[in-house]
């Protein structure tokens, strides 16, 4: 194999590795944090969760659950599509696919991830509309704290949870 070919393969492997790592470890402050980390049958979310700390009214909890239910299937479908496309790319890497075919698959994955993030963001916006201005301020503080905690974990070398 020529040096040029080995270099191209090394760059491709590094790119795929970083893409896979970025997909595998979700950003802890993405809208998914708000929209999807809730237990499905508990409108207030998990004990001690962000929404639990906002002291939501019964009506707000019910409406939050309705928003989650509205976006749940679409988000789940997009997540599955991303997983499937990643598996296909891994198979292509081991096979005889051309660089062009793998680039196309990579672009497809990035597009699917963008669609997923857009859905999660829309879900978050819909939930945000249900909060009072005081709750929104409190949520922003909680998200900032979560971001700082995740940042510190990353800097200290431990895995985000």
Residue 38 has pLDDT above 90, yes or no: no
- What pTM, to 2 d.p., does this model score? 0.62
Torsion of CA 36, 41, 47, 50, to 10 degrees: 30
How far apart (Å, rounded) are the C-alpha atoms in residues 21 and 84? 16
CATH code for the domain of 121: 1.20.120
| Helix 99-128, helix 58-94: angle, nearest 10 | 180
The span from the CA of 156 to the CA of 70, in Å, is 38
The count of domains in the chain is: 1
Domain hosting 40: range is: 28-155
List pLDDT tens digits, range 110-161: 999 999 999 999 998 999 999 999 999 998 999 899 999 999 988 887 655 5
pLDDT at 158: 63
Report yes or no on 105 lying in a domain.
yes
Residue 11 is assigned to a structural domain of this protein: no
In a domain, 129, yes or no: yes
What phi and psi, each to the nearest 5 degrees, are found at residue 100? -65, -45
Q: Does residue 77 register a pLDDT over 80?
A: yes
CA quadruple 140, 126, 108, 160: dihedral sign? positive
Domain membership of residue 132 (yes or no) is yes
- Is 1 part of any domain? no
């Amino acid at each position: 194999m020529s040096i040029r070919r080995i270099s191209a393969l090394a760059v491709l492997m590094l790119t795929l590795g970083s893409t896979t790592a970025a997909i595998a470890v979700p950003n802890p402050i993405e809208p998914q944090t708000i929209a999807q980390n809730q237990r499905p049958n508990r409108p207030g979310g998990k004990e001690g969760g962000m929404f639990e700390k906002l002291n939501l009214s019964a009506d707000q909890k019910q409406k939050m659950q309705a928003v989650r239910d509205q976006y749940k299937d679409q988000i789940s479908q997009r997540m599955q599509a991303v997983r499937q496309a990643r598996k296909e790319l891994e198979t292509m890497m081991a096979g005889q696919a051309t660089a062009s075919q793998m680039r196309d698959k990579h672009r497809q994955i990035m597009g699917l991830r963008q669609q997923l993030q857009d859905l999660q963001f829309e879900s978050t916006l819909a939930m945000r509309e249900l909060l009072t201005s005081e709750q929104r301020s409190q949520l922003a503080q909680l998200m900032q704290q979560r971001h700082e905690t995740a940042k510190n974990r990353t800097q200290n070398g431990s895995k985000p949870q």
